[in-house]
Amino acid sequence: MNYIKGIGYSIRKFSFNSRKSLNVLKYSSLSLQNNIKCSAIYRDMNIISGSEDSYLRIWDSETGKCKQILEGHTGSITCVSTFKHTIISGSTDHNIRVWSEDSNGDFSCDHILYGHTTPISCVHIIHSDTNPQIISGSSDGTIILWDNSIIPKFILKNHTSSITSIKFISKTKFITESTDNTVKIFDLTSLQPDTEIHQTPHFIDTTILFSNNIRLNMYLL
């Protein structure tokens, strides 16, 4: 198993078992000044990166070449998520863009999601073959679930600071992390957190990856 990490002006692909870098993807000399802010793996081991220059880049992880540059955002790309033939990106321009792949392998923007009033801090696609949906968090602590991936289905403001991570852990529950030093698990039936973990402002963040792609952060004083 491999994983990726954006480091400064490059992206490194690592072996999960050995933790050794397998490949380094770098911008062309024209774009070296733009810091990478986020990255995600796309099918067939392509890699999507987002940077401060407001562009998304699609890379071939084997050759290290940039295959396509996606333009549209007007602020720094802060987060990116993928599912099948779709890319979701969030930005400091307060908007989320939905990009779809055509039969030639090229991406274009299908939808722009308006609803957040502060920079987007995280996005996640609910992996469903019948009705995939998008959930997002922003720097003011707002959470939005998008109905049909276009309009807000519900808006939650249970956090008091920026959402740093948001993931579905079942069909009816999702977990959020925030810089307000809390982790909350929400139930879609009540739209209220049924579990809440409070932390002190000073903690160590340790990430655990499970086989079903659930991520749990353990906080140690």
pLDDT tens across 144-165, in order?
A: 998 766 788 889 988 989 999 9
Spatial separation of the C-alpha atoms in residues 193 and 213, rounded to whole Å: 21
At 29 the three-state DSSP class reads: helix
- Residues 204-214, mean pLDDT to the nearest whole number: 38
The alpha carbon torsion through 98, 77, 34, 43 (nearest 10 deg) reads: -50
Distance in angstroms (rounded) separating the CA atoms of residues 96 and 39: 15
Give the residue from 143, 169, 140, 46 showing the smallest Cα distance to 99. Answer: 46
Q: For position 187, what pLDDT does the model report?
A: 86
Whichever domain contains 20, its CATH number is 2.130.10.10
Helices and strands (H and E) in the chain: how many: 0, 21
pLDDT digits (tens, 9 = 90+) for 59-96: 887 787 888 999 999 999 999 999 888 999 999 999 99
Distance CA 5, CA 25 (A): 10
Q: Is residue 148 part of a domain?
A: yes
More confident site: 208 or 12:
12
d(CA 177, CA 192): 15
Q: Is the residue at 170 inside a domain?
A: no
More confident residue, 78 or 216: 78
Residue 195 lies in a domain: no
Question: How do residues 6-60 score in pLDDT, each as one tens digit?
Answer: 444 555 554 445 444 445 555 443 343 468 888 888 876 788 999 999 999 998 8
Q: List residues bridging with 173 in a β-sheet.
A: 187
In a domain, residue 69? The reply is: yes
Residue 123, in any domain of the structure: yes
Task: Give the lowest-confidence range in 159-168, 184-193, 207-216.
Answer: 207-216
| CB atoms closer than 10 angstroms to residue 157 | 9
d(CA 41, CA 34): 20
What's the confidence (pLDDT) of residue 199? 62
Q: Is residue 114 part of a domain?
A: yes
Mean pLDDT of the chain: 77
Q: What is the arithmetic mean of pLDDT over 182-200?
A: 77
Quote the number of domains for the chain: 1
Residue 178 lies in a domain: no
Q: Is 37 part of a structural domain of the chain? A: yes
pTM, 2 dp: 0.76
Distances in Å between the Cα of 48 and the Cα atoms of 37, 53, 67, 139 are: 11, 14, 10, 22
Range of the domain at 86: 2-157
